[in-house]
Amino acid sequence: PADADERDGLLELHRVLDRLCFEYAAALEKTGLAADLRAGKIIGTAALFSIRARQPLGLLGPAPFDGELDDPSVGVIGGFGEFHQVDPDRPWKGGRWVVRTEAGQCFPLTLSMLLFDSSGVNKEAARVEHRDALRSVVSAARS
């Protein structure tokens, strides 16, 4: 942030957006309703803005497996896309998509790369696995 006012604005922004997401989830739970696609996009955008507001404040922390994955060389990498959780018993610690090569190397991967830049990918299975990981975090937050 350029100054204290900008820092305060970013702090307020991410706190308000986090509260919005929480209150929406609490309202859904209380009413027994489910979020539709449009609502999911709106809440997803709010969560993304909240994350982006935290970044310049140094409030994000490292990405899962940061510094543990291999650095890919330029070119096409063959392998298997897998979702790895930091700790399956503690889903809030996060997870990350990786490409595991036949040689055993693991490279960073994104869901977007899986869905749009890869051939031979079971895209629906990748979506389901990603949703299941997100649901496990939400379930853990409720308990």
Among the listed residues 100, 93, 91, 102, the one whose alpha carbon sits nearest the alpha carbon of residue 66: 93
Domain ranges of the chain: 4-57, 80-142
Q: Does residue 98 contact residue 76 with C-beta atoms inside 8 Å? A: no
| Prediction pTM value | 0.71
pLDDT (tens, 9 = 90+) of the chain, 143 residues, equals 999 999 999 999 999 999 999 999 899 989 999 989 899 899 999 999 999 999 999 998 888 999 999 998 887 788 888 999 999 899 888 899 999 999 999 999 988 888 887 778 888 898 899 989 988 887 887 77
